[in-house]
Amino acid sequence: MNHLTGLSRLSADSITGLLDTAAGFKQTLRSPNASFSPTLKNRRIALVFFENSTRTRFSFEIAARNLGAGTLGFSAASSSVSKGETLSDTIKNLEAMQVDAFVLRHPSSGSAKLISRITPKPVINAGDGSNEHPTQALLDMFTLREHFGSLKGLKVTIIGDVLHSRVARSNIYGLLRAGAEVGLCGPVTLIPPDAEKLGVRLFTDLDRAIAWADTAIVLRLQLERASGTYLPSLEEYSRHYGLTDERLERTGKHLLVLHPGPINREIEISNHVADRIQPPGYSKSMLLEQVTNGIAIRMAVLETLLGGTP
Ligand code: CP
């Protein structure tokens, strides 16, 4: 593995290897005086973010520092991109400054793949348009594997704006490869037209999707990517596809609930469902556990791509 641009072609063995490596890091992260071997000492990792981020950017920064690497922050607004410099030129110039790896977030689908073809340095996709967000899917899979013990045969329903979701796409590829079953549930206009070909189950009725599933990944309604798409009103969306206690009570099913964040509270997920981590027997939110797991997964990805002698 030279780059991580997506999960669509990553083998089951590579996915398992990354989850196992992350499990080792998570154990150390849990210990009170966590300290890691600086296996990436003297390495420089450029965090090249053309879109905003809280979780992905900071957890990559923490992951890199845990392994002894230095990070270089980049934001499009304060760089020469604002003067018209291209993405390729930006990457080639950073490469000339002896950067050892690129973590790229960009609004264009395919941008991480494009960059991986122009630089010999490892490229990690931190989200490209509505295409893929592989480290988010890996941390979701890690969270599910840690809770259920295995992904094989697990029924995962992905709820909401699947059409615009790079998280959904990476999770579909990764979860299916790992032997899970995947259901998609949302308004017809927010389900990709080619979804059936992906090997997933399709639901338009949320109660049925919940009745089928062991766990739910709830997605953010991405209004910023939705121009040209027919959307229900927020009230309609919330009534039909919002995950609430009332709905879970009605279906008699309490699920493990994941969401990649950021969340639109009381639209796709109610406050109660988003925040409840106990008591047992009710739905359980994994939202903050996912964020912690993101550090372990990103350490595993950096270590796998950059570990060893520079
Ligand atoms: N889940 C996720 O990608 O969050 P950020 O946009 O905050 O990085």
Question: Domain ranges in the chain?
Answer: 3-133+294-306, 134-291
Fold equal for 3-133+294-306 and 134-291:
yes
Is 121 annotated as catalytic?
no
- Residue ID of nearest Cα to ligand 1 atom 1: 260
Phi-psi label, residue 266: left if phi above 0, alpha if psi -120 to 50, beta otherwise: left
What is the whole-number distance in angstroms between the Cα of residue 54 and the centre of ligand 1? 6
Q: Report yes or no: 24 and 145 within 8 Å, Cβ to Cβ.
A: no
* Least confident among 8-22, 26-40, 94-108: 26-40
Say how far apart CA 189 and CA 25 lie, in whole Å.
Answer: 40
From the CB of residue 11, how many other CB atoms can be counted at a distance below 10 Å? 11
Relative to the CA of 51, which ligand 1 atom is closest?
Answer: 6
Region 38-54 average pLDDT: 96
Within 6 A (CB) of ligand 1 lie 53-57, 127, 136, 260-262
- Kindly tell me if the per-residue pLDDT of 23 is higher than 90: yes
Query: Is 9 known as a binding-site position?
Result: no
From the CB of residue 188, how many other CB atoms can be counted at a distance below 10 Å? 10
What tokens appear for 182 in the block? 């995947």
- Kindly tell me if the per-residue pLDDT of 148 is higher than 70: yes
What tokens appear for 299 in the block? 């350490």
- Residue ID of nearest Cα to ligand 1 atom 6: 53
Confidence (pLDDT) at 31: 87
E-assigned strand segments in 165-205: 181-185, 201-203
Residue of 229, 287, 294, 237 whose CA lies nearest to 266 = 237
Environment class of 246 (CB within 10 Å of its CB; exposed 0-12, middle 13-18, buried 19+): exposed
- Kindly tell me if the per-residue pLDDT of 202 is higher than 90: yes
Confidence (pLDDT) at 309: 53
Confidence (pLDDT) at 1: 85
Is 21 annotated as catalytic?
no
Beta-carbon contacts of residue 273 (< 8 Å; ≥ 6 apart): 243, 244, 245, 248, 257, 283, 285
Relative to the CA of 57, which ligand 1 atom is closest?
Answer: 8
Say how far apart CA 178 and CA 186 lie, in whole Å.
Answer: 24
CATH of domain 134-291: 3.40.50.1370
ipTM of the complex: 0.98
Higher pLDDT pick, 15 / 232: 15
Give the residue ranges of DSSP H helices in the chain: 12-30, 55-66, 87-96, 111-116, 134-148, 166-177, 206-212, 234-241, 245-251, 271-275, 287-306
Cα torsion through 172, 177, 181, 183, rounded to 10: 10
Superfamily of domain 3-133+294-306: Aspartate/ornithine carbamoyltransferase (3.40.50.1370)
239-288: per-residue pLDDT in tens?
999 999 999 999 999 899 999 999 999 999 999 999 999 999 899 999 99
Computed over every residue of the chain, the mean pLDDT equals 95
Mutation probe of ligand 1 site: the residue of 136, 220, 269, 286 with most atoms within 8 A of C-beta: 136
Relative to the CA of 126, which ligand 1 atom is closest?
Answer: 3
Confidence (pLDDT) at 101: 98
Confidence (pLDDT) at 121: 97
Mutation probe of ligand 1 site: the residue of 47, 48, 54, 295 with most atoms within 8 A of C-beta: 54
What is the whole-number distance in angstroms between the Cα of residue 133 and the centre of ligand 1? 9
Out of 133, 177, 284, 298, the active site residue is: 133
Is 145 annotated as catalytic?
no
Q: Report yes or no: 240 and 206 within 8 Å, Cβ to Cβ.
A: yes
Residue 308: which pLDDT band, with cuts at 50, 70 and 90?
Answer: low
